[in-house]
Structure 1
Amino acid sequence: MNHPIGVQEKVSPFFAFFLIHSAQTGIGMLGFQNKVAGDVGYDAWIVCILSGISINIIIFLIYKMLKDKNDLINLHNHSFGSFIGTILTLAFSTYLILSALIVFRTYLDILQIWVFPTFATWYLGLFFIIAIYYTVVSGFRVVTGICFWGMVIPSLLLVSLGFPLKYSALENIMPIFDHSLTSMFKGIKDLTLNFMGFESILIYYPFIKKPDKSHKWAQIGSIFTMVLYAVIMVISYMYFNEEQMLHALWATLNMTKIISFPILERFEYVVIFTWFLVVLPTVCLPVWSVGRSLEILFNVKPKNSLLIVSIIIYSSVFFIKGRISINMLNQLVGTLGLYFIYIYIPFLFVINYIKSKIQRHFSS
């Protein structure tokens, strides 16, 4: 069924910078460092750069595919037929729901551990899910606006990264290139979850005016994310030694604990509450994308489908309890993301390319 997109629903090409960057800088930036500490140690900043470069290549493949097919639904239908294509799109929607759910649940875990240890999870989650639902039902332009402010306002906190440098030691990141390629690739695998989120462009691509012109902005957004991760990683390893990093679950937050002012002793509270604006886009983008997919596939009103998706995400507060369960879900979503980004997208690119070549051959 045809679902035309009005000009008033679209955003300018340069907003792809904020859409891509905001999707990649969610909850993981508060504690991504120790994920690769055991694999590559002080070479972790190199892994950040290699991961970022690989993501830029995947974004290039996505734009090449979407240039003619407009979104993932058309890509699936063109490559595999409508029936299999619908199943694959539903599988992608499930993946998006899981990725939103893990961000939602992890942020609530941070709030409980660092700020509100006596508050019930369902109570904290209620405020969060209401904000998510209100944002996504307001339309894609509102979601884009959240991505914009979710980058601009928290960027003021980057100044705080200078405080740990007073207690840093350059020798903590020496020597350089001291780990094998196998360890590097393992580190890239462990960092996949942090760079996830950009895949939603497979759905919202047609909501960008002259979307082909947004390619450079999407690439710049991803590069900016890569640089940010690498810089934070370098500062973290200069502040913590390698042994400390193995046990620093939320390394970025731990570094902000040393910051205090006469009128503000617990600066990490400012970071956690401000980070809500960073986390919100990483949930809203996949949730909105699921609503859009169901609207096209089954002509379901987004208002209804988004309510159901929001309830599913909110229900995680009752079924996913404790750090072990959250880590297991993180590992599951990270593995799914690894296969989808590095295996399925290149596979889909090849299939679509071959199918298009065959069709052009027989039509000529």
Structure 2
Amino acid sequence: MEEKMIPKNTSISRFQAYFFIVQTQLGIGILSLPNAVQRIAKGDGWISSIIAGIAVQLTLIVYILLLRRYPNDTYPEIIQKVFGRFLGKFCNIFIFLYFILTGSLALKLFIICINLWLLPLTPIWIISMVILMACIYLTISELRVIARFFVLASFLIGLLLFLSLLTFNLPKDVQYILPIGSSGIKHIFLGSHKSLVSMLGFEGILFIYPFIQNREKGVFKTVTLSNLSITTIYTYFIFLCLISFAPAQLPMIRDPLLFLFEGLSYEMVDRIDLLFLSVWIVPMSTSVIAYLYFSVKSISKVKTYKKVIWINGVLIYCISILPMDEKKIDIFSKFVANLSYIVVFALPFILLCFSVLINKYKVSENT
């Protein structure tokens, strides 16, 4: 098959692809995930994170098998080739709606966190507008520019890890996670659902794959390494929070990681949690940028790219400023999580199965 010519300004290296996926997965979720997992899996929450990482890896194998069958086509084009024009367009619209809702949820949780910790007197609609304008500005750029920004933003992960090491001066008790496995297999797997939802973003490989340079040689290693990195980071911070807070205390703390950093205090520096959150705004923004980009790529063509970005941005903004209490946000999160099982896990697997059957049918027809 003759390879399509990808413009240089839209192609990215495997190095950039690695950080693109990592930054899409890592954001607001890491701040509150220990709380969500502990509610279900208790002290075995760190095991739930590992199981979620294994599930992501199996899904990535399906992705790569599918993408290698159509190496020069974008994901929306693959869907239309396999399902046909009418059903394919319907699926692409469904994917578009999923990314709009996921981006809206990410932005909603983002602005609630900022409003709660940093700007309690600032109206939510202003915070959302400022953040989204910055995200739209970057998304209008080509993929290479976005990827470069994600690489730079990834250096802040080092700050996160450094601060976490400082917390080992605070009281810790390994007894909080013992005995290992006491929560039972059922609760451990239910807890992995929470981890899996926080790890979403790896589906971005479906959209950036055709633009990766030398993708035939090592893309699978790249996505595997990104998954290993994210699984290790999430597992580490869940474990850290589990041994830092009592089992009865952790479920009552909304953002355990920020609360943990709040305990760090030095003569020259105080309220490290607020300083960290002010910097962590950048990695939290990358998730919104990524989902805005995916939503545009699901339905738009090159000529309408910038126009659709603004339309999608307005949609995400309108949803993000809707008045929601904690109960409604929980319902919204569960709805998006259920949609993710269809879009992120089921649909690519069905596409792979159908593409194999279609290929076998063509082979048998030619013989």
Alignment TM-score > 0.5, same fold: yes
> Matches of 1:321 and 1:179 in 2, distance apart?
32
Equivalent in 119, 133, 136 of residue 136 of structure 2: 133
Q: Distance in 2 between matches of 1:205 and 1:255?
A: 38
Give the aligned partner of residue 190 of structure 2: 186
Aligned AA (1:268): D
- d(CA) in 1 for partners of 2:320 and 2:193? 28
Contact 2:16 2:148 in 1 (8 A): no
| C-alpha distance after superposition, 1:156-199 (max 9, x if no partner) | 22111123323111111111122322222211222222011111
Cα offset, 1:252, TM superposition: 0.8
> Which residue is equivalent to 2:158?
155
Give the equivalent residue in structure 2 for 1:207. Answer: 211
Q: In the alignment, does 2:7 pair up with 1:6?
A: yes
Report the Cα offset of residue 23 of structure 1. 1.2
Task: Name the aligned partner's letter for residue 325 of structure 2.
Answer: G
Work out whether 1:258 is the aligned partner of 2:263: yes
- Please name the residue that 1:319 is paired with: 322
After superposition, where does 1:192-271 map in structure 2 within 5 Å? Answer: 192-212=196-216, 213-271=218-276
Q: Does 1:30 align with 2:31?
A: yes
Q: CA RMSD of the aligned region, Å?
A: 1.8
Task: Report the counterpart of residue 63 of structure 1 in structure 2.
Answer: 64
User: Which residue is 2:22 aligned to?
Assistant: 21
Give the structure 2 partner of residue 43 of structure 1: 44
One-letter amino acid of the structure 2 residue matched with residue 182 of structure 1: K
Per-residue Cα deviation, 1:80-117 (whole angstroms, up to 9, x for no partner): 10110011011111111111111111110011111111
TM norm structure 2: 0.93
From 306, 329, 347, the counterpart of 2:309? 306
DSSP 3-state at the match of 1:40: helix
% same residue = 20
Q: Partner amino acid for 1:11?
A: I
The residue aligned with 1:278 is: 283
Count of aligned residue pairs for this structure pair: 361
One-letter code of the match for 1:235? L
After TM superposition, give the deviation of residue 300 of structure 1 in Å. 5.0
- 1:119 aligns to 2:122 (yes or no): yes
Q: Distance in 1 between matches of 2:22 and 2:150?
A: 8
Deviation at 1:4, TM superposition (A): 5.6
CA distance in 1: counterparts of 2:118 and 2:316, whole angstroms:
22
SS of aligned partner of 1:196? coil
Kindly indicate whether the alpha-carbon contact (under 8 Å) linking 1:192 and 1:334 is maintained by their aligned counterparts in 2.
no
Match of 1:357 in 2: 360
Q: Pick one of 61, 74, 77 that aligns with 1:74.
A: 77
When structure 1 is superposed on structure 2, of 27-36 and 349-358 the one drifting more is: 349-358
Secondary structure of 1:44's counterpart equals helix
The answer as to whether partners of 2:128 and 2:321 remain within 8 angstroms in 1 is no
SS at match of 1:301: helix
Q: Which amino acid aligns with 1:196?
A: L
Aligned to 1:292: 297
**TM-score under structure 1 normalisation?**
0.94
How far residue 39 of structure 1 moved from its aligned partner, in angstroms, is 2.0
CA contact (8 A) 2:98 2:343 kept: no
Matched, 1:87 2:77: no
2 CA distance for matches of 1:42 and 1:351? 41
Q: CA deviation at 1:358?
A: 1.7
User: Structure 2 counterpart of 1:222, which letter?
Assistant: N
Q: 1:45 touches 1:230 (CA, 8 Å); kept in 2?
A: yes
Q: Shift in Å at residue 302 of structure 1? A: 0.9
Deviations 1:270-328 (A, max 9, x none): 221111111122111121122223223xx651110000001111112431433333222
Which contiguous aligned blocks of 4+ residues in structure 1 show a shift greater than 6 angstroms?
A: none
CA distance in 2, matches of 1:253, 1:118: 20
Moved more, 354-363 or 117-126: 354-363
